[in-house]
Amino acid sequence: MLVSMKAVLDLADAKKIAVGAFNITSLEGIQAVLGAAEELGQPVILQFAPVHESVIPLKVIGPVMVMMAEKSSVPVCVHLDHGDKLEILQEALEMGFTSVMYDGSVLPFEENAANTKIAVEMAGNWGASVEAEIGAMGRQEFSSVGEGEEGEAVESCYTDPEQARAFTALTGIDALACSFGTVHGLYLTTPKLDFDRIHRIRESIGIPIVMHGGSGVSDEDFKKCIANGVRKINYYTYLAKAGGMYVKEKCADAGEYVFFHDVTQWAVQAMKEDVLHTIKVFSHLE
Ligand code: 13P
């Protein structure tokens, strides 16, 4: 069933777990994520990031995400990830998305807060939820490995708990994406997360914290983040890698021909395995 982000985060808060938010770039991705969530009976978030517009446009995949969420046996939120323009938030809301992220993290505090406030009003008209961000996660979203020092999270960009409190009070958002040591994409060195900062931010804002850049974080670190107040975890790169690497292996073993319908099935199978493990870790099932 299609529900708001607030609804799934309330469920997560009650159980002190985190909900996995998986970026969608194909129908196979939706099948893998919903297949895993339904097998485990856990709520989940399907999200689309505009950076993937060239892979598959929002206009094409968005309505499919909403339709599949409506038909699902578990609570599913359909969320717009990293919307940096209010127009794209409006487009997603009109399509039936139940949550949007306004990402004004590169803007000065006041401008980010003012735009986020507008996003909250817009989403309110649709009964949808809003995530926003302060602090910077480092590295352009979803870029690949091999980008040198830029892959490191820069501590001076970490979210400040006091600023987070002021921002949350000003805007009325439902969840806040914070910077505490994760980056998007593949890590070049082991991430060092500031768990105490997560705790202090959560104490100061009183709403769920969102972790971006979930790929490459250890199961143990995920659990520590959740214990300190993270309730939504964004995860994509490792999901795509799991599907791609399995397809690579199967193609290498295949005979003369490879059929595309087999490729899509291999990808769903491997991505579903990855999501099953991830949801289990986020939900204290393993
Ligand atoms: P990863 O691709 O590093 O898992 O990050 C996903 C993300 O944070 C989407 O906003």
Active site residue 81: yes
Mean pLDDT value across residues 189-193: 87
This prediction has a pTM of 0.94
Cα of 49 to ligand 1 centre, how many Å? 10
Residue 89 is which amino acid? Answer: L
Options 13, 81, 84, 160, the catalytic residue:
81
- Ligand 1 neighbourhood includes 236 CB (under 6 angstroms): yes
Query: Are the beta carbons of 152 and 188 closer than 8 angstroms?
Result: yes
- Please report which helix (H) or strand (E) contains residue 273, including its range: helix 260-282
For 54-106, the pLDDT digits (tens) are 999 999 999 999 999 999 999 999 999 999 999 999 999 999 999 999 999 99
CATH number for 172: 3.20.20.70
State which residues form the domain around 199: 5-283
Res. 146: pLDDT tops 80: no
What's the total number of domains in the chain?
1
For 201-214, the pLDDT digits (tens) are 999 999 999 999 99
- Ligand 1 neighbourhood includes 282 CB (under 6 angstroms): no
The predicted structure's pLDDT at residue 139: 52
For 237-273, the pLDDT digits (tens) are 999 999 999 999 999 999 999 999 999 999 999 999 9
265 burial via Cβ count (<10 Å: 0-12, 13-18, 19+): middle
Res. 7: pLDDT tops 70: yes
What's the token pair of residue 228? 């300190």
What's the token pair of residue 265? 């099935």
3-state SS class at 200: helix
Query: Are the beta carbons of 129 and 207 closer than 8 angstroms?
Result: no
Residues in the chain: 286
Geometric angle at alpha carbon 174, from 170 and 178, rounded to 5°: 80
Cα of 11 to ligand 1 centre, how many Å? 22
Cα of 204 to ligand 1 centre, how many Å? 25
Greater model confidence, 34 or 157: 34
The predicted structure's pLDDT at residue 153: 62
Radius of gyration for the chain, computed over Cα atoms and rounded to the nearest angstrom: 18
Ligand 1, pocket-test mutation among 48, 182, 234, most atoms within 8 A of CB: 234
Please state, for a pLDDT cut of 70, what percent of the chain lies above it.
94
The predicted structure's pLDDT at residue 190: 84
What's the token pair of residue 86? 């209010």
- Ligand 1 neighbourhood includes 22 CB (under 6 angstroms): no
